[in-house]
Chains A and B, each alone.
Chain A
Amino acid sequence: MKHLLSAADLSRDETLSILDTARQMHEIQQRDVKKLPALRGRTVVNLFFEDSTRTRSSFEIAGKWLSADVINVSAKGSSVSKGESLRDTVLTVGAMGVDGMIIRHHASGAPLQVSQWVDASVINAGDGMHEHPTQALLDAYTMRERLGDLAGKHVAIVGDLTHSRVVRSNLMLLRTLGAQVTLVAPPTLMPSGITTWAGSDGFAVTYDLDATLPQVDALMMLRVQRERMSGGFFPTPREYTVGFGLTRDRLRTLPDHAVICHPGPMNRGLEIAADAADEGRSVILDQVSAGVAVRMSVLYHLLAGGES
């Protein structure tokens, strides 16, 4: 495996191997001395065309704990406006002799395009409305730690599915791991063609959160931006919460063993009630702490070369 561009790139064995290694990395994180020598002499660049402090720091720490040299390049602001093409930008960075390029871009597909232009291993750290494979890996990691093997488990993903890169990666990864997936959103926030897509990929789609909740093992609430109102995606935040929010009333219908995930940042009171985020079934902070371990594992799998 040279690149990680899409969750679809990962076989079941590769996914399990990444998750198992992540568990070892997670254990090392609990120690006083956190550094491993695995990527000594390797250079990794964080090339972010869009701000994301959380993801960038997570990759940066992961690289450093594996002893890689980590460079942060902020290419924020459209390269178009600077008159430089994406290809020119990445060729310039690539010419510095990097082994891994971690790319965050506001446009879908950019990391895939970059992988065709440079020699380095490319990791997709989130591209437009497309994918965010390491987020899906850390979600799977977190759920697996609580629920065990995800095969046969039922995961519902609720919220703005159209604009979410998290949902696409999660759909593919969860299916690879054998989980059953249900997508819940108002029709306006469903990706186009979702019904044919669901048919061919074997997941369910519903507008009815109440009917779904009692059956799930894991509930993933996605952020819903209030700005979507101006696009006519839903009439008011109040109406959204009544239809699709994880309210206190709804919490009671969620099975006791089920876990609640949220990739953050949260709109408390809109898609998730304040106490839902903080209760025992919530694994939202676990997700954050798993992020570093999972990214260490990904970097290790892609860049450690013959040592693995």
Chain B
Amino acid sequence: MGDNVIDTPNVLLIRGADVLGEGRTDLLLQEGRIVDSGSLGAPPDAEVIDADGLVALPGLVDLHTHLREPGREDAETIRTGSSAAAAGGFTAVLAMANTSPVTDTAEAAERVWDLGQASGLVDVQPIGAVTKGLAGEELAELGLMARSRASVRVFSDDGKCVHDARLMRRALEYVKAFDGVVSQHAQEPRLADGQACCHEGELSGRLGLPGWPGVAEEVIVARDVMLARHTGSRVHIAHVSTAGSVEVIRWAKAQGIAVTAEVTPHHLLLTTDLLTGYDPTFKVNPPLRPEEDVEALREALADGTIDAVATDHAPHARHDKEHAFAEAAFGMLGLEQALSVVSTVMVEPGRMTWSQVAQVMSSRPAEIAGLDGHGIALAKDSPATLTLIDPTATYVVNREHSQSLSRNNPWHGRELTGRVQATFLRGRQTFTQGKVLA
């Protein structure tokens, strides 16, 4: 062991962080692990990080990230998306399959995995498509992706709903063989087609925008939990956006059905009336909903009905957003401010503790995704994969200060409380003092 210390001089002492359940604690990081914790003196060769007043959480895990590589490297690359993730306190992200080409083969999944490893800032775990080319017609090679070097466990046609009930049933059955999970983008296409871009309600009527009714999500959620019950499989509902979906999920969990769900930071804070000015920055799928839905989502996250916060980070080049609202691309950035939004909307008002935040942004997503080495409580012998948060820091978001290649940031100009100070992946500092460390 002594020899290794010389080989890796990066011995880090994080001094005085508020570690969940432990109170004020020093953490000694070495060779990628937490080798000691408690009230420690600094070893002579250690770099000391003063974490007084900071909260230490296990590194954040994002179940829902769009990295755009391959295909749209002008909007984001695995490298820039990883930087944004590290800056947001993440140590692992699950990369959605709707790239070009689609991640629907073992080779495509391995390529994403390798690029993530090469960037080295966060673990990039590919999500495999459920159907070939996201066409919703034939199953992709789910098993080969699972057996690949990338060990794919989460499958999703995100951006599109697996709307064929029989195909969805088969997908759920098939992934049982390797404990996979299907993450569903719930949008019944006959009730909310590709044009639908505004929550259906009085505002869509006034604005003359094609409506996306909450029921288009809810009927798929209801159907899929019944399919999960029938098949005995795990289903995960991506970006839940309505009170009705929450009700169905709550019921399903009470029945013991293996359903999990995520909510995005933007659906926890932003409401549909932001569309009044037709600003495409706020065009997202599913759309922003009214206050009643937003409130139901907050409640469901706090009481555990919704398992996880996932960003749906969706970078777009400027020229893809500078169209008439109905024609602009769907999606908004999310990785860099996710923690601050959750802090502002859930922790500040006393609706959640930091320990609950650790659950919904780290341990539950890691569990759902079957991801090793992430989401593990910070203690002696656990991986040195963590993030330090200043719970009282307040700042105004400036979209120009971003690691992402894109600028479609819905938080621009907003004041948020709670800020990521530093991120560590297996003992290596990937972000500190506003800088990503390559």
Chain A interfacial positions (CB closer than 8 Å to B):
78-80, 84-88, 105-110, 112-113, 127-131, 162, 165, 168, 191-194, 196-197
Q: List residues of chain B with CB within 8 A of the CB of A113.
A: 278, 324-325
Q: List residues of chain A with CB within 8 A of the CB of B278.
A: 108-110, 112-113
In the complex, besides A80-B323, A85-B320, A86-B324, 8 extra interface pairs with C-beta distance below 8 angstroms are A85-B318, A87-B319, A107-B327, A109-B326, A113-B278, A113-B324, A192-B213, A193-B205
> Number of contacts between A and B (CB, 8 Å)?
88
The reply to whether A197 and B205 form a contact with Cβ atoms under 8 Å apart is: yes
CB distance from A255 to the nearest CB of B (A): 30
Which of B213, B277, B327 has the largest count of A CB atoms less than 10 A from its CB?
B327
CB distance from A170 to the nearest CB of B (A): 13
Residue from the list B204, B322, B327 in contact with A192, Cβ < 8 A: B204
Q: Residue on B with the closest CB to A168?
A: B208
Chain B interfacial positions (CB closer than 8 Å to A):
200-211, 213, 277-278, 318-320, 322-327
CB distance from B408 to the nearest CB of A (A): 13
**Assembly CA distance A193 to B319 (angstroms):** 33
CB distance from B362 to the nearest CB of A (A): 38
CB distance from A262 to the nearest CB of B (A): 20
**Assembly CA distance A110 to B322 (angstroms):** 10
The reply to whether A109 and B322 form a contact with Cβ atoms under 8 Å apart is: no
The reply to whether A192 and B202 form a contact with Cβ atoms under 8 Å apart is: yes
The reply to whether A130 and B323 form a contact with Cβ atoms under 8 Å apart is: no
CB distance from A78 to the nearest CB of B (A): 7
CB distance from B215 to the nearest CB of A (A): 12
User: Can you list 18 A-B contacts (CB < 8 A)?
Assistant: A79-B323, A86-B322, A86-B323, A87-B323, A105-B324, A107-B324, A107-B327, A109-B324, A112-B277, A129-B209, A162-B205, A168-B206, A168-B208, A191-B204, A191-B205, A192-B213, A193-B200, A193-B202
Q: Residue on B with the closest CB to A81?
A: B327
The reply to whether B327 and A165 form a contact with Cβ atoms under 8 Å apart is: no
Q: List residues of chain A with CB within 8 A of the CB of B320.
A: 85
**Assembly CA distance A86 to B278 (angstroms):** 13
User: Beyond A130-B207, A192-B205, A196-B202, is A78–B319 a contact (Cβ under 8 Å)?
Assistant: no
**Assembly CA distance A63 to B138 (angstroms):** 57
User: Beyond A80-B323, A80-B327, A88-B322, is A109–B207 a contact (Cβ under 8 Å)?
Assistant: yes
**Assembly CA distance A191 to B201 (angstroms):** 9
The reply to whether B202 and A197 form a contact with Cβ atoms under 8 Å apart is: yes
CB distance from A123 to the nearest CB of B (A): 16
Q: Residue on B with the closest CB to A131?
A: B208
Q: Residue on B with the closest CB to A171?
A: B206
Residue from the list A85, A107, A194 in contact with B322, Cβ < 8 A: A85
The reply to whether A85 and B319 form a contact with Cβ atoms under 8 Å apart is: yes
Q: Residue on A with the closest CB to B277?
A: A112
Q: Kindly list the 5 A-B residue pairs having the minimum CB-CB distance in the complex, ordered from nearest.
A: A193-B202, A109-B278, A130-B208, A191-B205, A107-B324
**Assembly CA distance A18 to B319 (angstroms):** 38
Residue from the list B201, B277, B323, B325 in contact with A193, Cβ < 8 A: B201
**Assembly CA distance A194 to B200 (angstroms):** 11
Which of A78, A86, A109, A128 has the largest count of B CB atoms less than 10 A from its CB?
A109
Q: List residues of chain A with CB within 8 A of the CB of B318.
A: 85
**Assembly CA distance A130 to B197 (angstroms):** 14
Q: List residues of chain B with CB within 8 A of the CB of A128.
A: 208-209, 324, 326
Residue from the list A105, A110, A192, A197 in contact with B200, Cβ < 8 A: A192
**Assembly CA distance A193 to B322 (angstroms):** 28
Q: List residues of chain A with CB within 8 A of the CB of B209.
A: 108-109, 128-130
CB distance from B379 to the nearest CB of A (A): 52
User: Beyond A130-B207, A168-B206, is A109–B201 a contact (Cβ under 8 Å)?
Assistant: no
CB distance from A135 to the nearest CB of B (A): 14
Residue from the list B208, B322, B324, B327 in contact with A129, Cβ < 8 A: B208
Q: List residues of chain B with CB within 8 A of the CB of A80.
A: 323, 327
Q: List residues of chain A with CB within 8 A of the CB of B201.
A: 192-193
The reply to whether B202 and A108 form a contact with Cβ atoms under 8 Å apart is: no
Which of B208, B211, B320 has the largest count of A CB atoms less than 10 A from its CB?
B208
Q: List residues of chain A with CB within 8 A of the CB of B203.
A: 193
Which of A86, A107, A194 has the largest count of B CB atoms less than 10 A from its CB?
A107
CB distance from A192 to the nearest CB of B (A): 5
